[in-house]
Amino acid sequence: MHMADALLSPAVGTTFWVGTFATIAYVSRKLKQQIDDKLVPLMGVLGAFIFAAQMINFTIPGTGSSGHLAGGMILAIILGPYAAFLVTASVITVQALFFADGGLMALGCNIWNMGFYACFLGYPFIYKPLLGGSQRPPRIFAAALLSAIVVLQLGALSVVLQTWLSGKSELPFLTFLLLMQPIHLAIGIVEGFVTAGVINYVRSARPELLDSLVAASSKGAAYSLKKVLATFLALAILMGGALSWFASAYPDGLEWAITKTYGKSDLPEQSSGLAQVLDKIQGETAIFPDYRFQQKRNGMKELPAAARPESPPAISVPGVIGAFLVLAIILLIGVGIRFFRR
């Protein structure tokens, strides 16, 4: 559900930049009161895991479309809403800057659509009330499934509204809406199953995390995160380095809906103004456009055949590098927050 700049007007893109980064400032202040030696590495490893998981598109049968994990509910349930929003913002920013996945003008919208609803609506108002005080697997499954579906529906609706507010007449509101919501319902069901599986694993390995990492650590509870950290890091390397080879080639839900509405997968790019400036910046920063070794927009020398997208290393290397890049950036952010707290 990564929006391109062509879907947005500068006014809408800038508005969501302001709202999103105001939220980042707010959660950073909140984290100064809570962050500790256990939370920071967990944020980094989960960020790497979500980055790698988003590389694996799964086919939606009978549609010619695909979807990928958003991961907001996984992050919110394990980390809490403040840390989860910061991790989501870090992942999406790395994707936009270094992999040209989503536009820079659309960055605020993408963070909002994939992070805000999960962290501040789905987690506190759907998942937690449904779960109650129970940590039984069936309750986790039901709560994760319903919250993931609602969060994806809100994100898809937000994309439609942001596009409509931008005045994109190529995508009529009702037609676009009636395509976006059903396809993201299917994606949300898959996301719910994956979320429930991940949370049930954490419950079996480190149940105290789901009782609140912050509360447990503040009470001096002694527990080791080594098993959980090692598992998620190994999964990030496996998914980014190998499973990404088998990602579906079908367009994702947003691209599919655009194609069905407009007849093409891409709307005309804006040829001047803020969008053009940000597009040039992204052309310079994107070291692996579309998660591949390939020719950059601004005339990078063509790579040898062995490193072209058809070669597995052309997928594996960017995937692994991206996962560790997310890990490193989140660790730096966590260290910075702790430094300012002191």
Distance CA 188, CA 111 (A): 17
The DSSP 8-state label assigned to residue 102 in this structure reads S
Q: Read off the pLDDT of residues 119-135 as tens digits, 9 standing for 90 and up.
A: 999 999 999 999 988 88
| pLDDT value at residue 305 | 39
Distance CA 91, CA 111 (A): 9
| pLDDT value at residue 319 | 93
| CATH number assigned to the domain comprising residue 149 | 1.10.1760.20
| pLDDT value at residue 207 | 78
CA–chain centroid gap for 341, Å, is 27
Q: Cα–Cα distances in Å, from 303 out to 190, 228, 239? A: 36, 38, 24
pLDDT by residue, tens only, the chain of 342 residues: 899 999 999 999 999 999 999 999 999 999 988 787 788 999 999 999 999 999 999 999 999 999 999 999 999 999 999 999 999 999 999 999 999 999 999 999 999 999 999 999 999 999 999 998 888 899 999 999 999 999 999 999 999 999 999 999 899 999 999 999 999 999 999 999 999 999 999 988 877 777 644 444 444 444 568 888 999 999 999 999 999 888 999 999 999 999 999 998 888 877 668 888 999 999 999 999 988 876 554 444 444 433 344 566 778 899 999 999 999 999 999 889 888 776
Closest listed residue to residue 54, CA positions, set 257, 248, 222, 208: 248
What's the domain count of the chain? 1
| pLDDT value at residue 34 | 79
- Residue 318: give the domain boundaries: 5-341
The H-assigned helical ranges of the chain are: 10-32, 39-53, 72-79, 81-99, 107-111, 117, 128-131, 137-165, 173-205, 207-210, 213-218, 226-241, 253-262, 274-285, 312-341
Q: Cα–Cα distances in Å, from 66 out to 180, 242, 251? A: 12, 19, 6
Whether pTM exceeds 0.85: yes
| pLDDT value at residue 222 | 44
| pLDDT value at residue 309 | 45
Element (H, E) at 66: strand 65-67
